[in-house]
């Protein structure tokens, strides 16, 4: 008596598998860890697979302009997605803010970074890591912070620039550079700073790190790309973002 139901479920399941697609996603480096978790959940819930590439927002912009076959772009800012839309490389009306990031001055060494960031004024600190402000919004935010504090002239010779926020984190995590400006998401575990010492930079020191997602022109009529954009707005994805210290809009 259950055979018709079993057969129906079998047909539906196989139809879902047949419709499953792969979506190529360019992801700002600061969002690497949460996006990997979100991609796993996305595949479990939809059957679609997200193929992720991580890097600097500015670098991805150049790649997309040169024809890189991405279908979804998760930027670390708003202006890059706006430019892609204006240039016809992003689909009009699809961009939205998926999260707002936070900047942190961090060191893996306990008690090295104080809660007010006064370590930036200590002369014994000779190297400070940050992402390239011309390529990475978190690098731009770090430069704004230093300028806000009136320390740009003193700190300029000490700056060690990473190509993106992931490389910047590696500089500090391996202790090749004692301290650095990174994304809170890179050091935030279970609602707190995981290891080392940190100063969460006050939000008014830099322009809000609102991060926008946009469907690219290669995603027109692509069901997996559209499904991912919808999934990013859902409770599961937002929960993952919050666990990494992102602020939801």
pLDDT tens string 27-75: 999 999 999 999 999 999 999 999 999 999 999 999 999 999 999 999 9
pLDDT tens string 112-138: 999 999 999 999 999 999 999 998 999
Whether residue 142 has pLDDT greater than 60: yes
The mean pLDDT value of the chain amounts to 91
The predicted model gives 138-160 an average pLDDT of 97
What is the biggest distance separating any 2 CA atoms in the chain, rounded to whole angstroms?
81
Whether residue 190 has pLDDT greater than 50: yes
Tokens, residue 4: 């018709």
Domains of the chain with CATH codes: 3-100+208-243 (3.40.190.10), 103-200 (3.40.190.10)
Whether residue 79 has pLDDT greater than 50: yes
Tokens, residue 88: 């016809």
């Amino acid at each position: 008596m259950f055979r018709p139901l079993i057969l129906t479920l079998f047909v539906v399941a196989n139809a879902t598998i047949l419709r499953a697609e792969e979506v190529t996603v360019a992801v700002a480096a600061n969002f690497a860890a949460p996006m990997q978790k979100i991609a796993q959940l996305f595949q479990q819930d939809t059957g679609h697979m997200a193929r992720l590439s991580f890097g600097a927002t500015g670098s991805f912009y150049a790649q997309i302009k040169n024809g890189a076959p991405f279908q979804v772009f998760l930027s670390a800012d708003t202006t890059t997605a706006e430019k892609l839309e204006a240039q016809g490389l992003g689909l009009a009306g699809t961009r939205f803010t998926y999260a707002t990031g936070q900047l942190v001055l961090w060191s893996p060494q306990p008690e090295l970074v104080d809660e007010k960031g006064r370590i930036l004024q200590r002369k014994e600190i000779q190297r400070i890591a940050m992402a390239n402000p011309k390529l990475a919004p978190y690098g731009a935010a770090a430069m704004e912070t230093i300028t806000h504090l009136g320390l740009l002239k003193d700190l300029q010779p000490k700056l060690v620039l990473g190509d993106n926020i992931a490389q910047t984190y590696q500089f500090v995590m391996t202790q090749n550079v004692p301290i650095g400006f990174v994304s809170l998401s890179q050091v935030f575990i279970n609602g707190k700073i995981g290891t080392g010492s940190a100063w969460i930079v006050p939000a008014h020191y830099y322009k809000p790190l609102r991060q926008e997602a946009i469907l690219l022109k290669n995603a027109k009529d692509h069901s997996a790309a559209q499904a991912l954009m919808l999934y990013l707005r859902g409770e599961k994805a937002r929960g993952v973002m919050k666990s990494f210290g992102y602020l939801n809009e």
